[in-house]
Amino acid sequence: MSAVDPHGGQPVLFAGAATGEAKGAMILVHGRGADARDILGLAEYFGRPDLAYVAPEAAGHTWYPNRFLVPVEQNEPYLSSALGVIAGLVADIGKAGIGPERVFLVGFSQGACLALEFAARNPRRYGGVFALSGGLIGASVRADNYSGSLAGTPVFLGCSDVDPHIPLARVKESSAAMAALGGTVTERIYPGMGHTVTGDEVEEIRKVLATVA
């Protein structure tokens, strides 16, 4: 593991169609303490075997060491390395002929935070961005940290109102920031839910995937 790029060279797991033949691709980003195989298991619930599913794995099962609410410097170089992993996968998928408008970013917990942060820092028209229990990264959400346009990208944020790891205020701030970047945002707050993925969230993802013929 490199001190500069701690997630460089980590495993990447694949499922579904080969990228050269797929109608689209989904990058699935796992949470703290989990691994690529865990998050890749979601693919079977989407009903789209014609998509390529790509799941990177964090070094030590953690994308960054501290909470996502601390100043970003306190999570470096891990945060930049993690965002670089996603950027590399988007580029590789593009080389296989799948443009970003057919790339879907899905993350849970730490992975949700990364999916949102990557899309906000690299705005363009994606197939969709789905943050399952997560928010934008940093001590605060500042609109001047981001520029560009998501060009109508469907963005979904789902979270409990009492999630012990994700403050409700940060979810709402993140929704507003993604909307300001031109995302078509759906926010779904689930009363009393634990830190988990729900069937309703899976269904929301399926609805957006249905737009890819």
Identify the active-site residue in 81, 109, 133, 160. Answer: 109
Helices 110-121 and 78-95 cross at an angle (nearest 10°) of: 70
195 is known as an active-site residue: yes
Give me the pLDDT at residue 3, please: 81
Give me the pLDDT at residue 206, please: 97
Identify the active-site residue in 133, 160, 163, 165. Answer: 163
> Cα(139)–Cα(68) distance, rounded to whole angstroms?
8
38 is known as an active-site residue: no
For the chain, the domains span 12-209
Instruction: Supply angle C-alpha 159, 185, 96, rounded to 5.
Output: 100
Out of 3.30.70.270, 3.40.50.1820, 3.30.1490.20, 3.40.50.300, which CATH number does the structure's domain 12-209 have?
A: 3.40.50.1820
DSSP output for the chain: --SS-TTTT--EEEEES-TTT-SEEEEEE--TT--HHHHHGGGGGS--TTEEEEEE--GGG-S-SS-TTS-GGGGTTHHHHHHHHHHHHHHHHHHTT--GGGEEEEEETHHHHHHHHHHHHS-S--SEEEEES----SSS--GGG--S--TT-EEEEEEETT-SSS-HHHHHHHHHHHHHTT-EEEEEEETT--SS--HHHHHHHHHHHTT--
The residue whose two tokens read 């961005």 is 129
Per-residue pLDDT of the chain in tens (213 residues, 90 and over written 9): 678 899 999 999 999 999 999 999 999 999 999 999 999 999 999 999 999 999 999 999 999 999 999 999 999 999 999 999 999 999 999 999 999 999 999 999 999 999 999 999 999 999 999 999 999 999 999 878 899 999 999 999 999 999 999 999 999 999 999 999 999 999 999 999 999 999 999 999 999 999 886
Neighbouring-strand partners of residue 24: 51
The answer, as to whether pTM is greater than 0.85, is yes
Give me the pLDDT at residue 1, please: 64
80 is known as an active-site residue: no
